[in-house]
Amino acid sequence: MSQFKIQNQKDFDECLMWVSDLYKDVYGFRPRCYNFQAWSFQELQDFVNDLIEQNEREAALQRAAEEKAIKDVMSLGADKETALRWLDDADMHFMYGDDKFYESSVEKYGWVANHYDNLK
């Protein structure tokens, strides 16, 4: 993994434009009570690199959990496409109570959509 670097004020200012998004990706909410403007280049750089590492670790855990869920469903006798469809059906039922309003969200962001490229 390459480290993010802040070498000048322009890099620092650009980082301030997206660090809140990265923080939200990691923690699920925007940062509060941070005065990033008062931080040194090194402090912000270290903070961002820690967030990037944590985000990458969590993404790897998420991928592993998804792969396990797919394999678990396939162990019941389903092919991959059927397993993904069943996972979508389960999400629809348990997350949305089979509310038809959310079907388009599941079709757009669900298991099948997320793994479509790897089906064939």
Per-residue pLDDT, averaged over 19-40, amounts to 96
Residue 62: both structure tokens together: 């998420």
CA distance 90 to 50: 35
CA distance 59 to 53: 10
What's the DSSP call for residue 110? S
CA distance 75 to 83: 9
Question: Does 1 score more than 70 pLDDT?
Answer: no
* Per-residue model confidence as pLDDT tens digits over 82-109: 999 999 888 887 777 767 777 777 777 7
* Residue ranges with strand state E in 49-94: none
CA distance 113 to 5: 35
